[in-house]
Structure 1
Amino acid sequence: MNEILLINASGQDKPGVTHALTHALTQVGARVLDIGQAVIHDTLALGILVELRLSAEVRAELLNAIQQAATALDIQVRFQTITPERYEHWAEQQGKTRHIVTLLARQIDARMIAGLTGITSKHGLNIDMISRLSGRVSLAELNADDLAQGSACVEFSVRGTPADMAALRADFMDLSAELNVDVAFQRDTVYRRNRRLVCFDMDSTLIDAEVIDELAKAAGVGEQVAEITEAAMRGELDFKQSFARRMALLKGLDESVLAGIAAQLQLNEGAEKLISSLKKLGYKTAILSGGFNYFGRYLQAKLGIDYVYANELDIVDGKVTGEVKGIVVDGQRKAELLAMLAKQEGIALEQVIAVGDGANDLPMLSVAGLGVAFRAKPLVKASAEHNISNLGLDAILYLLGFRERDKLL
């Protein structure tokens, strides 16, 4: 007789379970059609789908042998015959579009899982696999009062294509706002596992400051410049016009203040870990900033950034003139520089990651294979495909599928 048989084994995880069950199958020449295993808190769940061509007598002997092997290992086992129709339906699913849904939070609770899986189900997505990417948490950490610096990540592999992508993303945004989580939804393609270049905005992305505002404070025009900066980042003002207005207010600033401001710059959470990890993995990194080269080069030396493109302050006789040299790096220029670097590195745009927080970052976020708005302004957060608002920059490693146990530092 021909039969497709599903064998499910569960129990305390220990060495030798898979060998014991498959050894029994080798005696009858079974063909393995699928196999999968998961272990949660040392509890094993193993599934093996096999094709059998056996007489009823030999089949009974096989099932008995598997049962005996499982009993000897204190493992529970059950058998289920799969109909040809059900098998064909399963086989046809392999051509369906797959996506990765990544759930990010300081700590993850049942409400978050229930909310996310309710949304995927609502939009016709079937979950194939769930994996925890963040590290195991000790009891001391669980009982700690301050979890502000913790991070947790669960990744869902889902199958299917949403009928309304905008509605799906809106539901994820609502969940994020309600429960203080970040949810990323991306196509599971070969490019996801082969990104090669990461382009960062500088101000309020890599560093926790807008440098032009710090320069303005030193020049005594801090409030005026900060107001213009905020309006520009919200997308209320054209970047070039707002930039010219802010630069004009800096005229006469002494060059000597630049070094002091650079030395006081604070990196955003996770920046150092992310860039160090990317370097060890062979990624190229770039700063594409509407800020200033002086500070970009300072960060380049500190972090080992490969490329820096920003605005060059015009300084004459030790004083800022209120102008910049060369082409102003605005949003469109950032997108052009990103494309130029991708071509220079010999990679596709799908292999580029762009990270930014302001309205002038949207063009490069939209052309990159993975565009991430980091702690972004509301307009940017609503427009970007991916957002990280609750964790540090190193959470981007989770979006690439890296696990906490993959120690790189």
Structure 2
Amino acid sequence: MGEISLQESIYAFDLDGTITRKETLPVLATALGVDAEIALLTRLTMEGKLDFQQSFKLRYCVLRNLPIGKIHDIMEEIPLDSAIEEFIKENRDACAIVTGNLDSWIEPIVRKLGCRCFSSCEIHRPEAFVPDICFVDKGEAIRELRIDAKRVVAVGEGANDIPMLAEADIAIGYGGIHKPADEVISLADYVAQDGEELCRMLNHL
């Protein structure tokens, strides 16, 4: 039996604030008129002052009141970084989204990009008023991607990206929308400040 041929590299991208030009949850919050509350939770989470899972559950309990059709309409209009979008579309088989966001919410973005996606999901239980959330394990996502490649390059900016950056062969901190968390900068092999710089870097690694 011949050896399995591995891809040279797989590129794993965080979604919110990396692929997208806006954080998606605050945009959803605007539709509900709860901008300030969601913005505060998002900022504290990005800074690592609030645990991502705890923060997301709080935001989810508010935002789940939006009909899923409305959420999809909003997600369709979320602007993407044009350079990163082009890179992913040109390298779909070698790219993946790794996000703590919900699969049911981000489906329009994933469909538009056409690459693999590792995300959180809802678990509906008959006895529960609010669904549970099964959170993506970003480190495990990188380990799964490595099965198909010689190396995995991970790109992220927030504290919740640390597990995937730590597990990746090459870690890139991204500052296109937010300043990367201090822990991300300490961990990163490289730091890129915008999508064009990031994609030039990816093409030359």
* Fold in common (TM above 0.5): yes
Work out which structure has the larger RCO, using CA pairs closer than 8 Å and 6 or more positions apart in sequence. Answer: 2
- Shorter-chain TM-score bucket reads 0.7 to 0.9
Specify the code of the residue in structure 2 equivalent to 1:304.
G
5+ residue gaps, structure 1, are: 1-193, 403-409
SS at match of 2:50: coil
**Residue 118 of structure 2 is aligned to residue 341 of structure 1:** no
Distance 1:195 1:304, change over 3 A: same
- Equivalence for 2:119: 310
For residues 144-293 of structure 1, the aligned pairs below 5 Å read 195-279=8-92, 283-293=93-103
Superposition misfits of 4+ residues, deviation over 6 angstroms: none
Deviation at 1:324, TM superposition (A): 4.5
Structure exhibiting the larger radius of gyration computed from Cα positions: 1
Tell me how far apart the structure 2 counterparts of residues 198 and 311 of structure 1 sit (CA, whole Å).
19
Distance 1:252 1:400, change over 3 A: closer
Cα contact 2:158–2:181 (8 A) shared by 1: no
Cα contact 2:159–2:181 (8 A) shared by 1: no
- Equivalence for 2:169: 369
**Residue 107 of structure 2 is aligned to residue 297 of structure 1:** yes
Deviation at 1:284, TM superposition (A): 1.7
How many equivalent residue pairs? 192
**Residue 164 of structure 2 is aligned to residue 354 of structure 1:** no
Distance 1:214 1:399, change over 3 A: closer
Tell me how far apart the structure 2 counterparts of residues 315 and 258 of structure 1 sit (CA, whole Å).
19
Q: TM-score, normalised by structure 1?
A: 0.43
Q: Deviation per CA, 1:355-374, whole angstroms, max 9, x where unpaired?
A: 11111111111211111111
Tell me how far apart the structure 2 counterparts of residues 198 and 312 of structure 1 sit (CA, whole Å).
22
Distance 1:315 1:221, change over 3 A: farther
Tell me how far apart the structure 2 counterparts of residues 247 and 277 of structure 1 sit (CA, whole Å).
33
Cα contact 2:153–2:172 (8 A) shared by 1: yes
Specify the code of the residue in structure 2 equivalent to 1:396.
C
Distance 1:297 1:255, change over 3 A: closer
- Equivalence for 1:122: none
Cα contact 1:274–1:393 (8 A) shared by 2: no
Distance 1:339 1:239, change over 3 A: same
Q: TM-score, normalised by structure 2?
A: 0.81
**Residue 198 of structure 2 is aligned to residue 398 of structure 1:** no
Q: Deviation per CA, 1:316-350, whole angstroms, max 9, x where unpaired?
A: 9xxxx75454x212xxx11111101222x2x34xx
Specify the code of the residue in structure 2 equivalent to 1:341.
L
Specify the code of the residue in structure 2 equivalent to 1:328.
F
Distance 1:393 1:314, change over 3 A: farther
Q: By percentage of residues, which structure has more strand? A: 1
- Equivalence for 1:384: 188
Cα contact 2:122–2:132 (8 A) shared by 1: yes
Tell me how far apart the structure 2 counterparts of residues 308 and 367 of structure 1 sit (CA, whole Å).
17
RMSD: 2.5
- Equivalence for 2:135: 328
Tell me how far apart the structure 1 counterparts of residues 112 and 64 of structure 2 sit (CA, whole Å).
28
For residues 64-103 of structure 1, the aligned pairs below 5 Å read none
